Structure 1
Amino acid sequence: MQRELSAVFHGNALDLEFVDCYGQHLAWLETWFQRRLSCNGVASELAQEVFLKLYEQREQIPGLRQPKAWLTTVAHGLLVNHYRRADLERAYLAALAVYPTTHVPDPEQKAVLFETLLELDRSLRQLPNKVRQAFLMVQLEGVKQQDIARELGVSLSMVKKYIAQAQQCCGGGEDYAQRLSHLNSEQRALSSRTLAALPRLNRRAILKSVCVLLGAGGFFHAYRKSDYSADWVSAKGEVRTQTLPDGSELTLDSDSAVELVFTPAQKLIVLRRGRIMIQTASTLLPNELKPVVRTREGFAQAMGTVFSVEQKAQSTQVEVFEQRVQWRSLSSGFFHLLNAGEQAEFNQRGLLSSQSVSQERAAWTRGLYVADAVPLKKWATEISRYRAAGIHCDVAVENWLVSGTFPLNKPEIALLALQDALPVQLIQHNTLAASPVLLVARERGE
């Protein structure tokens, strides 16, 4: 196979230069791919694809002072696409396990389908999650815009804006709709859910290929521990909701990161940092696998429920709002069952504390913080989650009690509302940008 490509070329100068480059670097490029992939056959195919791209641009060959640099750049892009396709295939199989269809495409049809879905993914991957969801539900599932608005919890006018924004990125979407028109309604819904389950930005594939490109084990270790290898990440001040492959809903609190390992044998959510809320899909049968959240301290097993898990510095806090959750400590194997209305904090050995929890604790998923006589220091800690710079309390006021409902997506408004609730003063060096704030007692007469 290695010499098949050269047999089709004619004897002009550019073709001869290409054949020379091909002969000199093919074995090296195949080895480059083999070191980064587990399958030598795939490595050989990708190497051939790199040289086909070079042949299409063979007029550049005389000016290439370092052909390996050009080949490596193209190889890196193909490797990223390879990882993305693998992500797509895993998402498709996971969706197929949850939403079985009466007709599974044959290998040839599936190859065409994946290519179309990959092109659509490239057009949509940088869009916000709700924009992608709205577009996919309209184009692939044929859902009415009013129903999409109810599903996403937004207004009808916002759904129209979402669809218009997505159409700008993929030329209106008519081409993709035409290419997927042969699919039945089940297959189109399956395709939509496959794309919806993919990360908005495939940072894992991109960074992983960069790591292997550099060939640095230490860099790869740092990558694995960083948020770049996570599947979903929320920025500071951002609360975002994603749909898991089984239809369950996962909401990431501000500054959180998770990694997903969904296979036919497990539904694992690795909480890297922050806090998440899980609402298991109502369509799951009693004997079906339920999501499991893993933290540094242990595992929280859903038992058909709504619950939150927070990764703290040296512990995990679990809050259950519906039904039950089973906790298992990582090192000791300690088990603890939490019922609705209970919260508990665990370390690797076992239970640290437990108490009741109210439904208001889940208000952060709606962008609100409901304070019921909480110490000011705790209030400042909660609001600081959503602010670029921290909020600190003078010792004299940190135990003052705060009550009220505060917007989390607008922490500066929450600070202003605090001054109406308590006689406190904000000390801030830079009021034009987010900078640290110190809360002190307001002087009398102010």
Structure 2
Amino acid sequence: MHDFPVADRTSARRQQTLTTLYSDHHAWLHGWLRKKLGCSQHAADLAHDAFVRVLLLADPQNIKEPRAFLATTAGRLLIDGARRRKIERAYMEALAIQSQEAGMPDPAAIHVALQTLERIALMLAGLPEKVREAFLLSRLDGLTYSEIATQLQVSPSTVKNYISHALVHCYHTLHGADPL
């Protein structure tokens, strides 16, 4: 019998948990998303992204209800994508208005703006889910802290902490400093 170090056994158990989770639930999640979206390719992308989130978890073996967890994670990814498209649409509408008023915008300016939107999306992706969701509900949807608290099922003071955390994170990301 081999006597493997604890770290190796933990890593092997984690890998087995992830392998089992993927093999037992990937087809189900893909089918569930395909029914919701009506597009097999988009469903495959979202299923992949949901499993990437699982890979990033510290202890995936603590997931008690895998399908509920995966459905919630995929639902949040759908919401994030919808919000990103909403930002892109708003920007494109602003560009259209600007082009009508002052002529066609410079293609380089459009490229820089799209890069900026992508940077914002990546910056927000670095936040914990509830923090990011609270921040977007506040900034994009214009909800009050009380409304956000109701939607996220937390207290308004927790929402205030989430927003503060998001703002500090954004500041540090923009200025190249390490987040707290």
Q: Which residue of 2 aligns with 1:73?
A: 72
Q: Which residue of 2 aligns with 1:112?
A: 118
Length-normalised TM-score, structure 2? 0.57
Supply the distance in 2 between the matched residues of 1:178 and 1:33 (Cα, whole angstroms): 38
Higher fraction of strand: 1
The 3-state SS of whatever aligns with 2:59 is helix
Supply the distance in 2 between the matched residues of 1:33 and 1:25 (Cα, whole angstroms): 12
Aligned-partner residue type, residue 126 of structure 1: S
Q: Which residue of 2 aligns with 1:48?
A: 48
Change over 3 Å in CA distance of 1:126–1:58 after alignment to 2: closer
Q: Percent identity?
A: 23
Q: Which residue of 1 aligns with 2:37?
A: 37
Q: Which residue of 1 aligns with 2:152?
A: none
State whether structure 2 residue 168 is matched by structure 1 residue 171: yes
Q: How does 1:16-415 map to 2 (within 5 A)?
A: 16-57=16-57, 59-61=59-61, 63-100=62-99, 101-102=105-106, 103-105=109-111, 109=115, 112-115=118-121, 123=135, 125-126=137-138, 170-171=167-168, 174-175=171-172, 177-178=174-175
Supply the distance in 2 between the matched residues of 1:89 and 1:45 (Cα, whole angstroms): 20
Supply the distance in 1 between the matched residues of 2:18 and 2:165 (Cα, whole angstroms): 39
Higher fraction of helix: 2
- Structure 1 vs Structure 2 CA RMSD: 3.6
Supply the distance in 2 between the matched residues of 1:28 and 1:70 (Cα, whole angstroms): 13
Work out whether residues 50 and 71 of structure 1, in 8 Å CA contact, stay in contact via their aligned partners in 2.
yes
CA shift, 1:59, in A, is 2.5
Work out whether residues 18 and 58 of structure 1, in 8 Å CA contact, stay in contact via their aligned partners in 2.
no
Change over 3 Å in CA distance of 1:108–1:48 after alignment to 2: farther
CA shift, 1:40, in A, is 2.5
Aligned-partner residue type, residue 135 of structure 2: S
Structure number with greater Rg is 1
Supply the distance in 2 between the matched residues of 1:172 and 1:86 (Cα, whole angstroms): 22
CA shift, 1:15, in A, is 0.3
Supply the distance in 2 between the matched residues of 1:107 and 1:173 (Cα, whole angstroms): 18
CA shift, 1:25, in A, is 0.9
The 3-state SS of whatever aligns with 1:105 is helix
Alignment deviations for residues 134-177 of structure 1 (CA, whole Å, 9 cap, x no partner): xxxxxxxxxxxxxxxxxxxxxxxxxxxxxxxx878612964465
Aligned-partner residue type, residue 171 of structure 1: V
Supply the distance in 1 between the matched residues of 2:92 and 2:63 (Cα, whole angstroms): 43
Change over 3 Å in CA distance of 1:106–1:74 after alignment to 2: same
Length-normalised TM-score, structure 1? 0.25
Work out whether residues 14 and 58 of structure 1, in 8 Å CA contact, stay in contact via their aligned partners in 2.
no
Aligned-partner residue type, residue 44 of structure 2: S
CA shift, 1:114, in A, is 4.8
Does 1 or 2 have the higher relative contact order (CA < 8 Å, sep 6+)?
Answer: 2
